[in-house]
Amino acid sequence: MTYINNMITDGLAFGIPLFIMAVGAIYSEKSGITNLAVEGFQGFGAFCGAVLATLLGMSTGLGTQTILYLALVMAFIGGAFYATLHALLCIKFRADQTISGVVINILAVALTTFLTSQISGVLYGNASNKLTLDVSARFTVPGISSIPIIGAVFTKVYPFEIIILVIAVFMWYLMYKSRYGMRLRACGENPQAVDAAGGNVARTRFIAVLISGGLSGIGGMCFAYSILSNFSPSIYLGYGYLAIAAMIFGNWNIIPTFFVCIFFGLARAGGSQLCVSMGLASIYTDLFMMTPYILTLILLMFFSKRNHPPKAAGEVYDKGKR
């Protein structure tokens, strides 16, 4: 029983940050900009958040949770800032969007690793590739949490899971109910139509990519504050790519993508719980951690055909093309 409860608790803690990254990817792609840069966005965003958290931790007496919330804001800003690079390359300079995404990921690893060692050198006197962070507090809702199975959802919840869900609801509203969202989705299908209707394709896409970067940054920060408890190059574990896979299975829609992310989270946590329950040595954990990726491969085979990616994603928008 505890294994199942643990699976649910850990699964949500992993799936929800993954979800917000996937929502970021959806924003970019729905606007017509292919986004392979989620990995880089989340890493750079988390780096910015971690730097702020470290500075605040050293110079002020703020509590862990307050620092965490400020770090999340910083991660959003940092991710969005880093995403301007992708937006400029793809929209202004008409670069190939796939290549831009890959380059941005590689650059993020190198840049944040270098900066981390420089900063830790200045702050602690010895250069390390880590910025140590606290682990976020967790809360358990009394009463409901004692219900079997369902109770696990309300057990040891990270506060950021709630924050992410609130943001996601707002993002859903912005995408499907607002004027901006309507134009954004049209930009990803037929930018000419938006142009002819008097909309601004470049601006709409630029904002979408920034949102994408910001949301990814939040996702990265949450991982840094939960499973990693630090910022280091180990943040580039491929969760950004997993978020892209979730977006694809979710058919570029926010609600189905939510369920896919939760499913990935449960699969990952289930794998590790299975390992524990069988009493295997910890080296086997890595084997079980592969579960989401293997699932990705299998699901890709079945879902790729029926999907409808945004039609104009990946194409450079050329006003003159008729």
Partner 1 sequence: MSGKNEEYIVEMRHITKRFPGIIANDDVTIQVKKGEIYALLGENGAGKSTLMSMLYGLYEPDDGEIYIRGEKVVFKSPSEAAARNIGMVHQHFKLVDNYTIGENIVLGIEPMKKFLGFIPYVDMKEANEKISRLSKEYGLEVNPTDLISDINVSIRQRVEILKMLYREAEILIFDEPTAILTPQEVEYLLKIMEELRKGGKTIILITHKIEEIKKIADRCAILRRGALVDILDVRTTSTQEMANLMVGRTVELEATKSAAKFGKNVLSVKNLCVRNEDKVEVVKNVSFDIREGEIFAIAGVSGNGQVELADAITGLMKAESGSVSLLGKDISGETIRERNRDGISYIPEDRQKFGVFMDFSLRDNLTIRRYYKEPFSKNGIFRFEEARKYAERVIERYDVRSGQGPKTVMRSMSGGNQQKAIVGREIEEHSPLIIFVQPTRGLDMGAIENIHRDIIAERDRGAAILLISLELTEVMGLADTIGVIYNGQLLKIADASELTSQDVGRYMMGVTEA
For partner 1, the binding residues (CB under 8 A) are: 173, 177-179, 182-183, 185-186, 189-190, 192-199, 308, 311, 322
Q: Nearer Cβ to partner 1, position 30 or 268?
A: 30
**CB 199 to partner 1: min, Å:** 5
Backbone angles phi, psi at 132, to 5 degrees: -75, 135
Minimum distance from residue 87 beta carbon to partner 1 (Å)? 22
User: Could you tell me the CA-to-CA distances from 157 to 25, 61, 102, 241 in Å, in that order?
Assistant: 25, 25, 34, 25
Nearer to partner 1, 198 or 279 (CB): 198
Amino acid at 91: I
Q: How far is the CB of 310 from partner 1 (least distance, A)?
A: 9
Q: Minimum distance between the CB of residue 302 and partner 1, rounded to whole angstroms?
A: 17
Residue 234: C-alpha distances to residues 34, 97, 288 (Å): 25, 25, 18
For 150-253, where are the alpha helices, taking DSSP H only? 150-153, 159-176, 179-189, 191-196, 201-223, 239-249
Nearer to partner 1, 118 or 200 (CB): 200
Q: How far apart, in whole angstroms, are the C-alpha atoms of residue 150 and residue 144?
A: 8
Closer to partner 1 by CB, 60 or 200: give it. 200
Q: How far is the CB of 180 from partner 1 (least distance, A)?
A: 10
C-beta closer to partner 1: residue 15 or 188: 188
From the number of C-beta atoms within 10 Å of its C-beta (0-12, 13-18, 19+), residue 124 rates as: middle
